Structure 1
Amino acid sequence: MPTPGPSPVRYSIIPVNPEAHLFEVSCTVADPDPSGQVFRLPAWIPGSYMIREFARNIVTLHATSARRPVAIEKLDKHTWRAEALQEGEALTLSYVVYAWDLSVRAAHLDTTHGFFNGTSVFLAVDGRTDRPCLVELLPPGRELLKTWRVATTLPRAIDEPGAALAMGFGLYRADSYDELVDHPVEMGTFDHVSFEAGGTLHEIAITGRHDCDTERLCKDLSRICSWQIDLFGQPAPVQRYLFLTMIVGDGYGGLEHRSSTALLASRADLPYRGMNGEPDGYKNFLGLCSHEYFHTWNVKRIKPAAFTPYDLANENYTRLLWAFEGFTSYYDDLALVRSGVIAIEDYLGLLGKTISGVLRTSGRLKQSVAESSFDAWIKYYRQDENAPNAIVSYYAKGALIALALDLQLRKASEGRVSLDDVMRLLWLRHGLTGEGVPEDGLFALVREVAERGAVGSGRRIGRWLREAVEGTDDLPLEKLLKPFGIAWQAETSAKGPTLGIKLAAGIGEAKLANVFDKGPAQRAGLSAGDVLIAVDGLKISGGSLDATIARRAVGEHLKIHAFRRDELMEFDVTLEAAPADTIKLAPAKRPSPTMGTLRKGWLGA
């Protein structure tokens, strides 16, 4: 007879008090460490690179064994150790978690629904994280909440026909702690629809009030998901996939998981019955879905070596987020046009916005995307009023590096190879094998693909990529787009001169959120946080400032009064011309046959 394996770690979780936003969780270990079992809660969640200290939400915690109290000591901010027990004694840790973070990263609970990521609620058991886990999802006790269902890709503990799709409370399983915390859970009265893509079942659970045309949404997502599956090659790396979607009045965000994604979206961004075309909000939502779905390959299975395995107690440093987030940000919108969901003109509009966004931040000239990747923990995810002047987005500029690389590969090889081939090679060597990508691994792989397409181009393109990733020069995108029949036009976004500022959200007081490097406001001494109250002796507000400045001329002098804290201050400002940092892209009117062929290979018919 086969030797029985180690006892699984057993968890349970119940929305014990939705009105107070409290989950009650238990963790039982059948054979705790005889020297004293240690438990710890993750400090961050993969895909969101900032230490978030989830343990701060644990309200109470105690340990028992055979119904007797067990002493437990807190070792640090997220680690506990229970007293040593006799052999054969099981140990249960019971604790209450406060869940009031309406985001894709943590946990949220009220009388309308419950949502959690495992990293926020399930303590890891030291020395037992490779063991199978069983988790019982328990329903809330109130009569009003008996209609709640469960949406998750965690497999059911009992492997019966249809059990995986049953959206009910009960016992679920995972092969390890890492798998347990990579399947978010939604519970409530959500709407549920499904579609097929690439022979794989895909589901959407929509929580929150909405008027979504789910038939239209399923049709468009099916095309996008099918295209991505075909890019890497069938079959998809999951048996089923779930889009967990929380709908709010104003929100945007997504977080990838191995067979699902958690999304936060604005109500107005969903498609509605009778909607014509693809409004900007809907394109943004489809791009978000496409981005998180692409992560099913790129970052969930093709990973930096620094993430294999994750250390959830500490920062995991890598200089490669420009490839894992940046390349994904390139393909998210590209998948929309290649799958035929949006037109080429729509895609070029989205691409122009990305280029413009990068050009408007002087931080791009000071920080490389490799540095931005490494410092994500303390800079990108902790942006302040000086962020536009100090950092570059490895998402946005990483996407533009992917674009520039793709165009160069296609042009040098006359369309024989592209970034698609790089992604497929990454999947073959790292995604399917589980071997992490070394910090310098991508440069060698790109050289190999480039050389395959055109002998002699590998070294040149590989050298360019390293310089683009480690340097701060602007990318020669206008030059690279021209052979593909794409016209480039730089315009100013302002109707008149500029102060070189960004106001805080809202149309009330004119409070400065950002003061841009070497702009008129900074030269005059204005600072972020200042509240402008008058221009040349006339009262000003957030809603009237732009119109006031638009009536003035470049070189004109203004006297601005502003409050800094509680002190009234006066500034002399000289207006300057707004920069031409808005990029408009369009298909060239008379492309050559070569241009047309290259563009068709890049963007599709």
Structure 2
Amino acid sequence: MKNSTIRYQVRLADPAGHRFAITLTIPRPEPGGQILRLPAWIPGSYLIRDFARQIESLLVFDADGPVGCHKTDSHTWQCAPAQGRLTVEYTVYAWDLSVRGAHFDESHAFFNGSSLFLAVVGQEDQPCLLDLCPPGHTDRWRVFTSLPEAEGEPGAAARHGFGCYRAPDHDALLDHPVEMGTPQCVSFEAHGTQHELVFTGVVPGLDLARIAQDVQKICQAQIEFFEPETRQAPFLDSASRYVFLVMVTADGYGGLEHRASTALITSRADLPTTGQPEPEDYKRFLGLVSHEYFHTWHVKRIKPAAFAPYCLDRPNFTRLLWVFEGFTSYYDDLMLLRAGVIDEPAYFGLLARTMDGVLRGAGRHKQSVAESSFDAWTRYYKQDENSPNALVSYYTKGALVALGLDLEIRQRTADRHSLDDVMRLLWKRHGRGFYDHPPQGVPETAMQGLILEATGVDVSDFIARHVDGREDVPLKDALARTGITLEASPADQRPDLDVRTHNDAGGVRLATVYEHGPAHLAGLSAGDLLIAIDGLRVTSDTALKQLLASHRPGDRVVVHVFRRDELRRYRVQLASARALKHRLRRVDGPPA
């Protein structure tokens, strides 16, 4: 390799203290003093996270000994001029059990490169070697990553082994997370390309064969969707395989996409076990898998121009997350149907749940999905108790926008075109070969023109109303034209406070008070601890529902709450539940 290859060594130094020890070797540092910088955020999670706060110590050396180094901002270091090769030694505290950061103890180690790997500013385009050292407390661990092994290099890793891996540049180094430990694993091929499912965490009797069978169908369906002729996986430009790194916990849920892998966290209860009935929420796990795999094309290669390339030291603002997350949220469940892992009634149920969530919040009348996209950094990723009253999700309303566009295109072209044509044009124009040439992202104002080019349909009025504007997507009539009936009824027939709650040690705490509902009009607030209704103690959310069931809409009740340490009394006039439950069914079929 070139003499300018930048090397990173990761030692599993302290499992009890959750510390990685990193050695960074820079063959040709900037003569006037090298600048080092750790990312402030990780692509796919739009919030400044200041990963550098977990660097506990940092020392710099050249051939003559220690080199001065000081911070110039929260995630940047300035080194003094050095003689020849520069060595940087630092430790990283890793105790973030999420898809975004790094986590390390005696049972496993996981990291995203954005938490560990300082950029050598000015040399981000140089090739990198990553040397993963085996742990000292066990000889049973293996390595799971989509990062290619450094074949031909001294100490090159074997498949799943410790040793050297290679990346063409710093961006690629960051984009291949690593799991080390003794997980449960299964492999399969999708159109000739290897995929690995890696499950970390305790799951007795995990039905790996069932999961692999279903995920294989999803992967094949998506490869066929984007590449119907070649059926070639997109990640072959950067890896020889795709890896699903799944952390299993009691109640986790989430995912983060990478160019040839994804990091997932899921609930143990959502996974099937051998010989047992399929869990009720197994399709939720499959939907998560489908969502993150779809991102392999749509976000990791088809990107907003604002992300091509990423600037990881500051927010990268775009108004297009409704396209990149919203369209993905539409296709994730649709791909489960097309792959044959769920049937149409199950798909209708998932679509209805999305509608329920979007239409529940008043925030959709105050913020458009384009505004929600732009405000992701300051609002969507910094939600509080009032967010349902103030925000709309570019994920869920974006999915309904995608559905509305799909139906509009199909109706106006007599089913000759659909949103599928738009996705394939995006892939051909902005995604295919993304890492082989200078990146060309999707311009902020390009979507109307791309849809017109792909389908012949002018959707400027639709976008003005439902993307830049705040109108609900008119799905009922559009679905009816396809033979699908959309019905809505109250989610609960009992009178309602119109609040979101969670059980607390002292009773029931109000998590959100929905705007213009009975609790809001009476003066109750998020954070209030609900103690009693008409003198009867409220011990749980179930008890609250039972007490309300003894009343009718219009009844007035006396509610006692603690606000902070103050006991307060309110008179609340109950109302019918405003939350709606949507149902979809074919005209000649049963409701879903």
Q: Same fold (TM over 0.5)?
A: yes
Q: 1:80 maps to what in 2?
A: 77
| CA offsets 1:325-373 (integer angstroms, 9 cap, x no match) | 0000000000000111110000000000000010111101110000000
Distance 2:578 2:501 in 1: 18
Distance 2:206 2:279 in 1: 14
Letter in 2 for 1:253: G
Q: 1:435 maps to what in 2?
A: 440
Aligned-pair CA distance for 1:298: 0.2
- 8 Å CA contact 2:197, 2:243 repeated in 1: yes
Distance 1:400 1:438 in 2: 22
Q: 1:58 aligns with which of 35, 41, 55?
A: 55
Letter in 1 for 2:510: L
Aligned-pair CA distance for 1:250: 1.1
Aligned-pair CA distance for 1:247: 0.9
Q: 2:394 maps to what in 1?
A: 394
Distance 1:507 1:291 in 2: 36
Q: 2:91 maps to what in 1?
A: 96
Q: 2:270 maps to what in 1?
A: 269
| CA offsets 1:461-513 (integer angstroms, 9 cap, x no match) | 33212321111111111111111111212121123111111112568511110
Q: 2:243 maps to what in 1?
A: 242
Match of 1:325, SS state, is: helix
- 8 Å CA contact 2:45, 2:256 repeated in 1: yes
Distance 1:215 1:508, change over 3 A: farther
Aligned-pair CA distance for 1:428: 0.5
Aligned-pair CA distance for 1:68: 1.3
| CA offsets 1:226-267 (integer angstroms, 9 cap, x no match) | 000000002111231100011111100100000000010111
Q: 2:220 aligns with which of 194, 201, 226?
A: 226
Q: 1:330 maps to what in 2?
A: 330
Q: 1:109 aligns with which of 94, 99, 104?
A: 104
Q: 1:12 maps to what in 2?
A: 9
Q: 1:530 maps to what in 2?
A: 528
Distance 1:468 1:447 in 2: 17
Distance 2:172 2:589 in 1: 53
Q: 1:290 maps to what in 2?
A: 290
Distance 1:272 1:484 in 2: 38
| CA offsets 1:202-231 (integer angstroms, 9 cap, x no match) | 111111111221111111111111000000
Q: 2:551 maps to what in 1?
A: 552
* 1:421-500 → structure 2 map (5 Å cutoff): 421-432=421-432, 434-451=439-456, 458-459=457-458, 461-500=459-498
Match of 2:196, SS state, is: strand
- 8 Å CA contact 1:503, 1:542 repeated in 2: no
Distance 2:293 2:503 in 1: 31
- 8 Å CA contact 2:303, 2:441 repeated in 1: yes
Letter in 2 for 1:254: G
Distance 1:375 1:555, change over 3 A: same
Letter in 2 for 1:387: S
Distance 2:192 2:443 in 1: 33
Distance 1:95 1:590, change over 3 A: closer
Distance 1:158 1:488 in 2: 57
Letter in 1 for 2:497: L
Distance 2:268 2:22 in 1: 32
Distance 1:429 1:137 in 2: 37
Count of residues in correspondence between the two structures: 574
Aligned-pair CA distance for 1:272: 1.7
Q: Scaled by the length of structure 2, what TM-score is found?
A: 0.95
Distance 1:506 1:568 in 2: 16
Aligned-pair CA distance for 1:280: 3.2
Q: 1:594 maps to what in 2?
A: none
Letter in 2 for 1:155: P
Distance 2:134 2:169 in 1: 24
Gaps of 5+ in 1: 452-457, 592-605
Gaps of 5+ in 2: none
- 8 Å CA contact 1:150, 1:188 repeated in 2: yes
| CA offsets 1:363-384 (integer angstroms, 9 cap, x no match) | 0111000000000011111110
- 8 Å CA contact 2:370, 2:468 repeated in 1: yes
Match of 1:414, SS state, is: coil
| CA offsets 1:503-525 (integer angstroms, 9 cap, x no match) | 12568511110000000101111
Aligned-pair CA distance for 1:6: 5.0
Structure 1 segments of 4+ aligned residues over 6 angstroms from their partners: none
Match of 2:496, SS state, is: coil
Distance 2:273 2:408 in 1: 40
Match of 2:114, SS state, is: helix
Q: 1:518 maps to what in 2?
A: 516
Letter in 2 for 1:529: G
Match of 2:576, SS state, is: coil
Q: 1:68 aligns with which of 59, 65, 68?
A: 65
- 8 Å CA contact 2:422, 2:450 repeated in 1: yes
Q: 1:137 aligns with which of 132, 135, 138?
A: 132
Q: 1:23 aligns with which of 20, 23, 29?
A: 20
Distance 1:146 1:491 in 2: 59
- 8 Å CA contact 1:447, 1:462 repeated in 2: no
- 8 Å CA contact 2:157, 2:165 repeated in 1: no
- 8 Å CA contact 1:17, 1:23 repeated in 2: yes
Aligned-pair CA distance for 1:79: 0.7
- 8 Å CA contact 2:422, 2:455 repeated in 1: no
Q: 1:308 maps to what in 2?
A: 308
Q: 1:206 maps to what in 2?
A: 199
Q: 1:419 maps to what in 2?
A: 419
Letter in 1 for 2:443: P
Match of 2:82, SS state, is: coil
Identity %: 53
Q: 1:455 maps to what in 2?
A: none
Match of 1:374, SS state, is: helix
Letter in 1 for 2:73: D
- 8 Å CA contact 1:489, 1:584 repeated in 2: yes
Distance 1:550 1:288, change over 3 A: same
Q: 1:575 maps to what in 2?
A: 574
Distance 1:356 1:174 in 2: 44
- 8 Å CA contact 1:345, 1:587 repeated in 2: no
Distance 2:200 2:566 in 1: 47
- 8 Å CA contact 1:155, 1:164 repeated in 2: no
Q: 1:186 maps to what in 2?
A: 179
1:321 aligns with 2:321: yes
Letter in 2 for 1:255: L
Q: 1:454 maps to what in 2?
A: none
- 8 Å CA contact 2:559, 2:570 repeated in 1: yes
Match of 2:481, SS state, is: helix
Distance 1:570 1:508 in 2: 17
Distance 1:463 1:450, change over 3 A: farther
- 8 Å CA contact 1:250, 1:265 repeated in 2: yes
Q: Scaled by the length of structure 1, what TM-score is found?
A: 0.93
Match of 1:285, SS state, is: helix
Distance 1:182 1:78 in 2: 19
